[in-house]
Amino acid sequence: MGRRFTKEMYGMKKYIFSMGLMFGLLLAAAQPFSPAQAHFMTSAEEREIGAAAAERTEEKYDVAWDDDIVEIQKRLIECNPTQLNWNDGRHTRWLAPMKLYHSDHPNAFMLRGGYSYMADSMVNFMNTYQNDGYTNSNNLRPMNRSNIYNTSSVAFVMGHEFGHWAGKDHLEGYDKQFGLNLLVGIFGGQAGSVGGALAQSAGVNLVDTLIDRQMSFNQEKGADEWGIKFLENVPEYSTGGALTKFYRFMKLEEIRYPDGKRPKNFRNPHPETQKRFDRVADYIKKSSNGRVGVNSYGNVFLDRVHLDIPSRMDVADVERSFYIAGQIAAAIKKDIFHRENISVVAPSESRYGYDPNIPRMSYVVFSSKDGSEVKILDLIAYDKTRSYEENLNSSIYGKAEIKMMDQIIGLMEEYDRTHPRRR
């Protein structure tokens, strides 16, 4: 009888608390939420629940550590230290190394607490040579070093997921779901330290809630914005990597839905792929003060002049075009797209995209005088040990690529001549 009574009393307390929590949700809906407020749970609780979700994920999938993926994450963190970080002992929130999981569906996702995963099929889809929506496992390019084009695309997929973490999307989602404003009203600054416990006492399984919860449309849009800004700060990564990613998915959708009719998926909060592509193209245009234009056909315009960008054995034409468009825009934004900022650097001598195995190639680099701002414009067939004339006549690639660079530099100089800068 006593045990039964205790159980009934617990049930009554749980009911009363649930009603109070529901009332709090109504209050929360009526009051504006400030990002500066404490979150529903602490960073330690976030990590604990995220670790549990990661454990479930790794029970479900075949998961592997990949050195190339970790290297890309390292570059993103190094170049975005105010938004991204490892577990360095100085931060309460940090990113765990991203892992690969086996799946035939190209995807990636971020769990609470900085745990993230990318499907091996996504990596292969970005690393395959052709841009036709198919993956050719017999023609995959490696990542990192001088493989700047496909690595930029993989880096964007990663950067998008890290954007969910940097934007605290999971935390804010729980704030709204469980009524943070009520908790703040009752507990003040300690709301976060009791949020997880209160939810647990109300019978809420936070791990299941975490896995099942979908991001909102605005959170997905915001994660894209975070991702392209992360790429912008890495010398060898281009925001054009985002364009390539979306371009390939548009081609994949053409294969899946040849009639153009995509089925409604109300659980997928991602914007339409074409719209995501267009937003990145618009970002490139605005960040370059309207000087750089790019479309989904792979056409790039600098100061309204169409750039003649050749393809090469290691990079498809539109992929290279997207890369160059993003890098020119970033160089303009960083105010390093000028004659005095340009140099030709051998990959074996470069701090970024270091590669000792391609002696007859060179990076075209834009850099500030103090070296704090650097963007690699492209990798071209140019041997620094030879003269300009020798390189021009050495190969078909060399001639076409030097012609392309002459066009870009000529337009750059013409713009600076007609738009004097303030010193």
188-217 pLDDT, tens digit each:
444 444 445 544 444 445 555 544 556 777
What's the rounded mean pLDDT across residues 25-31? 44
* Mean per-residue pLDDT of the chain: 85
How many CB atoms sit inside 10 A of residue 167's CB? 19
Report if residue 227 sits inside a domain: no
Position with higher pLDDT, 107 vs 268: 107
Q: Are residues 63 and 97 part of one domain?
A: yes
Q: Do 66 and 159 have their domain in common?
A: yes
Position 231 in a domain: no
pLDDT at position 207: 52
The residues pairing with 205 across neighbouring beta strands, listed in sequence order, are none
User: 219 pLDDT band (50/70/90 cuts)?
Assistant: confident
Q: Which of 177-181, 199-203, 288-292 has the least mean pLDDT?
A: 199-203
Strand partners, 315: 312
Domain count, the chain: 2
Domain-embedded: residue 78: yes
Asked if residue 411 belongs to a domain, the reply is yes
In a domain, 230, yes or no: no
Q: Residue 326 has what pLDDT?
A: 99
Q: Where are the alpha helices (DSSP H) in 131-190?
A: 148-166, 169-178, 180-187
- Better pLDDT: 324 or 217: 324
Integer Cα distance of 114 and 77 in angstroms: 13
Q: Model confidence at 218, in pLDDT bands (50, 70, 90)?
A: confident
Strand partners, 110: 116
What is the model's pLDDT at position 2? 41
**Is the pLDDT higher at 420 or at 172?**
420
Say what percent of the chain tops pLDDT 70.
78
Residue of 167 and 188 predicted with greater confidence: 167
d(CA 153, CA 159): 10
Same domain, 79 and 105: yes
At residue 151, does pLDDT exceed 90?
A: yes
What is the amino acid identity at position 152?
A: S
| Among 154, 189, 222, residue at a domain's last position | 222
Q: Tally Cβ neighbours within 10 Å of residue 204.
A: 17
State yes or no: pLDDT of 224 exceeds 90: yes
29-43, 119-133, 183-197: least confident range: 183-197
Residues 210 and 242 both lie in one domain: no
Looking at residue 17, its pLDDT comes to: 41
Same domain, 207 and 284: no
Domain end, chosen from 163, 195, 222, is at 222
Residues 254 and 368 in one domain: yes
Q: Are residue 179 and residue 45 in the same domain, yes or no? A: yes
Give yes or no for residue 80 having a pLDDT over 60.
yes
Q: Is the pLDDT of residue 184 over 50?
A: no
Adjacent-strand bridge partners of 301: 293, 306
Write down the pLDDT at residue 390: 93
Structure confidence by residue, pLDDT tens digits, 235-275: 999 999 999 999 999 999 999 998 877 776 645 556 799 99
Amino acid 209: pLDDT:
52
pLDDT score for 187: 46
242 and 218 in a single domain? The answer is no
Express as a percent the part of the chain with pLDDT over 90.
Answer: 68
Task: Report yes or no: 271 and 220 within 8 Å, Cβ to Cβ.
Answer: yes
Q: Are residues 300 and 162 in the same domain?
A: no
Q: Does a structural domain hold residue 171?
A: yes
Does residue 388 sit in the same domain as residue 339? Answer: yes
Compute the half-sphere exposure of residue 60: CA atoms within 13 Å on the CB side of its CA: 10
Together in a domain, 51 and 124: yes
Residues 258 and 194 in one domain: no
Residue 228 lies in a domain: no
Q: Please give the Cα distance from 393 to 220 (Å, whole number).
A: 48
Predicted confidence at residue 339, as pLDDT, reads 97
Neighbouring residues of 2: CB distance < 8 A, sequence distance ≥ 6: none
What is the pLDDT averaged over residues 214-221?
80
Tokens, residue 193:
């330290």
- How large is the average pLDDT for residues 370-385? 97
> In terms of residue numbers, what domain contains 272?
238-418
pTM equals 0.84
Domain boundary among 194, 222, 250: 222
